[in-house]
Structure 1
Amino acid sequence: MTIKYVIFDMDGVLVDSEPLWAESQIETLAQYGAVITEPDCEKYTRGLRVDELAVVWIKKFHLNIEPTLLRDEIVELVCRKIAEKAVPMDGIYPLLDFLKTKKIPTALATSSNRKVIKTVFDKLKLWDYFPIQCSAAEEELAKPHPAVYLSAIKALGATPADCLIIEDSVTGLIAAKAANVRTFIVNPKFADERFAIADERLPNLHEVLNILRQEL
């Protein structure tokens, strides 16, 4: 299969924001007497839409709070943290520049909402790389349903066979494969068997670039 388009997840792929999401959940929930850890966030909420992760914690700790309020508090805090200290994932700009030189169109397909997308793109100056930005917050069903990826494919005017998806989470991987798209997992824990359905499992974006240099 020839790669004609590349679709990127955002958190954990473009930006090193997963620790910031964990911090925001930990700090927000602490205000309601709920104690969680970063591994808890990895286990229960990584890759989920923020409205869904809010519901996860409310159910787990029987919190007397509206899901929309908890969602908004977490988003507000994570956006502040991203604006203050977010950094790009190692190797993302060389990869994006390579795709641009090869005239390979790119799109974003993220579980994050528009406010988080804007915060990340402003901080990392990503607007010129991604004319197409799709958010699962605007889909009826979130990842692991493939809806946001199918929307990105449609917006690109592509077919699944033309595309490559770059993901970092199990939830995102399931969504990408459900869209019938070749998928690379990029995660320091790439050898984890939960990622076994990925077409490639890689530790960082430099390895993605190495593969694409051979294929494009």
Structure 2
Amino acid sequence: MPTIRAVLFDMDGVMVNTETFYIKALIDTLSEEIGLKLTEKEVEKYAGLIYTEKLKRIFEERKVKADPYELAEKSRRKFLCMVRGRIKLLPGVRELIEGLFSYGIKLALVSSSRKNVVEMVIRETGLKGVFDAIVTQEDVKHLKPHPEPYLLASKMLKIRPEECVVIEDSVHGISSAKSAGMKCIAIVNPNLPISNYSEADMLVRSVRKIKLEDILNL
């Protein structure tokens, strides 16, 4: 069995509370701009996709004719206004990172968010210099669920995919990790079907539930 040498973190919804702001910004933008009313639960199922892809699917499913690119940009601007100065690490994240760091495990951050958002999160949470590799939206041609983001992080770390564990919270992120040949721990959203997490190697309700020995024994 391969030795686990690296842990790769998704960002939104795993490390920080930004997912709530992403959802609210999108809901508010659609309501204000085109009068489309969506609930938080309706938007949650698109977790792990960037705004443009979320909107394409929403418009296709609801037969809406609108520009997903324009509305994605407006949603991003609204998100940045909402989230600046309000970013917090989710419970258990700092403790897990410190434990992994002390054990000598390499750390990577792999996000579909834009570089400016990732940099803001790192700055506001005091995690500058913690990660050995960082992959953002601008670094890859193919976003999650394609394996490219996690494979790039593995290459940057100089660690084989089978020696990596990914912590994710979306079906697209889990698919990305597993397609890259990595183990995956999924943070379960109680509002989504448990079948969304069928590919994951381990399910938990919170990062607080992840122990160092759980990771090493995967």
State if a TM-score over 0.5 links the two structures.
yes
What code does the residue aligned with 2:155 have?
A: K
Match of 2:196 in 1: 194
What code does the residue aligned with 1:56 have?
A: R
Shift in Å at residue 130 of structure 1?
Answer: 1.8
Moved over 6 A (4+): none
Match of 1:103 in 2: 104
What code does the residue aligned with 1:143 have?
A: K
The TM-score normalised by the length of structure 1 is: 0.90
Aligned residues: 215
Q: Are 1:177 and 2:178 an aligned pair? A: yes
Match of 1:41 in 2: 43
Q: Could you tell me which runs of 5 or more consecutive residues in structure 1 were left unpaired when the two chains were aligned.
A: none
Q: Residues 108 and 134 of structure 1 are in contact (CA less than 8 Å); yes or no, is this contact kept in structure 2?
A: yes
Match of 2:207 in 1: 205
Shift in Å at residue 214 of structure 1?
Answer: 6.6
Distance 1:104 1:212 in 2: 14
Distance 1:210 1:191 in 2: 27
Where in structure 2 are the equivalents of 1:130-169 lying within 5 Å?
A: 130-169=131-170
Distance 2:101 2:193 in 1: 30
Distance 1:49 1:137 in 2: 12
Match of 1:84 in 2: 85
Distance 1:148 1:57 in 2: 24
Q: Percent same amino acid at aligned positions? A: 27
Larger mean CA deviation between 141-150 and 64-73 belongs to 64-73
- Summarize deviations over 1:91-143 as a string: whole Å, max 9, x none: 00000111111121111111111122122222212222224210244422221
* Root-mean-square deviation (Å): 2.2
Distance 2:215 2:176 in 1: 26
Q: Are 1:118 and 2:119 an aligned pair? A: yes
What code does the residue aligned with 1:211 have?
A: E
Distance 2:206 2:89 in 1: 12
The TM-score normalised by the length of structure 2 is: 0.89
Where in structure 2 are the equivalents of 1:21-40 lying within 5 Å?
A: 21-31=22-32, 32-40=34-42
Distance 2:100 2:193 in 1: 26
Distance 1:82 1:148 in 2: 24
- Summarize deviations over 1:55-83 as a string: whole Å, max 9, x none: 23343455554333222211122222221
What code does the residue aligned with 2:120 have?
A: T
